[in-house]
Amino acid sequence: MNASSSTVLMQPAELFALRLKFSMKNSNYAGMSCRKFSEVFNKRISHCQITETMLHDWLQARSMPSEEKMIALSTLLGVSSNWLITGSE
C-alpha cells in the first residue's frame, strides 16, 4: 500500500466537530452534556438559539451550524470564529 492510498481525508463537518469538541473540552464547559450546554448557550446568546439535537449532530459531524451560530459558539467558547470555522487563525 502506498502513502496516498492510506491517507484519509476528513470532511468539513468532521473537522468542525473535532474543533468544537476541543474547544468545549478546553473551556468552562468541559464535560457538560449537550442538553446543559444548549441551555447555557441559549441563556447567554440571546440572538440565536440552539437545541440539544443540533449540538449533538454538530459533535457527531452529521451537520454544521450556520455562520451566525458558529460565531456565537466561538464567542461563548472563547476561540476565534475563523479557527472554529476553518481551522486557521
* C-alpha count within 13 angstroms, C-beta hemisphere, residue 41: 25
> Which pLDDT score is estimated for 4?
53
Task: Give per-residue pLDDT as tens, 37-60.
Answer: 999 999 999 899 999 999 999 999
> Which pLDDT score is estimated for 33?
96
Q: Are 13 and 21 in contact (CB under 8 A)?
A: no
Averages of pLDDT over each 10 residues, the chain, 89 residues: 62 95 94 96 94 97 94 95 89
> Which pLDDT score is estimated for 6?
55
* C-alpha count within 13 angstroms, C-beta hemisphere, residue 70: 18
> Which pLDDT score is estimated for 3?
52
- Among residues 1, 14, 7, 3, the alpha carbon closest in space to that of 62 is found at 14
Supply the pTM of this predicted model: 0.86
* Superfamily of domain covering 11-86: lambda repressor-like DNA-binding domains (1.10.260.40)
Q: Domain-by-domain residue ranges, the chain?
A: 11-86
